[in-house]
């Protein structure tokens, strides 16, 4: 079974719109776990636009599954990760003006700095994943610096239509093959929803998908526990169909 990580950043976004106490992302994490989430994912941004330090601290103490901390590779964030000890850190690119993460890390162009901090995190006992585009050279650099996993950016696939989407899917499949050759654990995320996740989870070796927006959007109408359960069922059906 491919694991499902639930990104709860959007719950914190609603809270911060009013600078209020609710909705509480910690409560959201509990409901997501009740729905079958295998992991809770949060992105602690440098500008703290949604998830804040208090959320991270409480989530570390309360969730029963796994905590995946997405973060920029900065001295501040590395320090916070080493103090908090999430189960996994996913290093992601970050720009202040972006609405959401727009693409993968430029691992080749920032190799030395990334490699130094990957090693710091691993020395601290933290499993390290890098968020990258579906590119073989990036995969090789991730393996060279000792990363445990990669999370392939699926946003281009999710945004594309028709033949262009098939081409993007082929790129992800090829990158997945390269990932497995290099001994990296294969994860994916960004833009995935109830309609397009099936083709991603059936890629050979896919270990985990991280999904936020589509599940939180569905939860507005049916509740978070049910929305997570429905995504789990969607993934399960896709895997069963692929085995027939």
List, in order, residues 6 or more apart from 183 with CB less than 8 Å away.
Answer: 143
Q: Do the Cβ atoms of 201 and 238 come closer than 8 Å?
A: yes
Per the residue annotation, which of 50, 190, 199, 208 is the catalytic one?
Answer: 190
Task: Tell me whether residue 70 is one of the annotated catalytic residues.
Answer: yes
Q: Do the Cβ atoms of 122 and 85 come closer than 8 Å?
A: no
Q: Tell me whether the omega of the peptide bond preceding residue 180 falls within 30 degrees of 0, making it cis.
A: no
Task: Tell me whether residue 195 is one of the annotated catalytic residues.
Answer: no
The backbone torsions φ and ψ at residue 13, rounded to the nearest 5 degrees and listed phi first, read -60, -45
Cβ–Cβ contacts within 10 Å for residue 157, how many? Answer: 25
Per the residue annotation, which of 43, 50, 153, 156 is the catalytic one?
Answer: 43
Cβ–Cβ contacts within 10 Å for residue 178, how many? Answer: 20
List, in order, residues 6 or more apart from 155 with CB less than 8 Å away.
Answer: 101, 102, 103, 190, 191
The backbone torsions φ and ψ at residue 68, rounded to the nearest 5 degrees and listed phi first, read -110, 115
Q: Enter the DSSP assignment of 137.
A: H
Per the residue annotation, which of 70, 94, 168, 208 is the catalytic one?
Answer: 70
Q: How far apart are CA 177 and CA 156, in angstroms?
A: 19
Q: Strand ranges (DSSP E) for 161-217?
A: 185-189, 206-211
Active site residue ranges: 43, 70, 190
């Amino acid at each position: 079974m491919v694991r499902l990580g639930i990104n709860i950043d959007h719950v914190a976004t609603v809270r911060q719109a009013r600078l209020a106490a609710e909705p509480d992302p910690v409560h959201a994490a509990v409901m997501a776990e009740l729905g079958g989430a295998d992991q809770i994912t949060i992105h602690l941004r440098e500008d703290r636009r949604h998830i804040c330090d208090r959320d991270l601290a409480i989530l570390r103490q309360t969730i029963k599954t796994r905590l995946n901390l997405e973060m920029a590779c900065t001295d501040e964030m590395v320090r916070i990760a080493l103090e908090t000890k999430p189960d996994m850190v996913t290093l992601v690119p970050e720009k202040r003006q972006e609405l959401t993460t727009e693409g993968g890390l430029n691992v080749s162009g920032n190799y030395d700095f990334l490699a130094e901090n990957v090693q710091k995190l691993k020395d601290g006992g933290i499993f390290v994943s890098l968020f990258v585009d579906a590119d073989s050279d990036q995969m090789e650099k991730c393996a060279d610096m000792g990363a445990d996993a990669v999370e392939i950016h699926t946003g281009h696939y999710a945004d594309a239509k028709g033949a262009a989407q098939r081409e993007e899917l082929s790129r992800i499949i090829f990158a997945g093959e390269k990932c497995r050759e290099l001994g990296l654990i294969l994860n994916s995320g960004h833009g995935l929803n109830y309609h397009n996740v099936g083709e991603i989870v059936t890629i050979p070796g896919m270990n985990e998908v991280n999904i936020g927006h589509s599940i939180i959007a569905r939860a507005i109408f049916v509740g978070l526990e049910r929305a997570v359960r429905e995504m789990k069922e969607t993934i399960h059906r896709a895997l069963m169909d692929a085995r027939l």
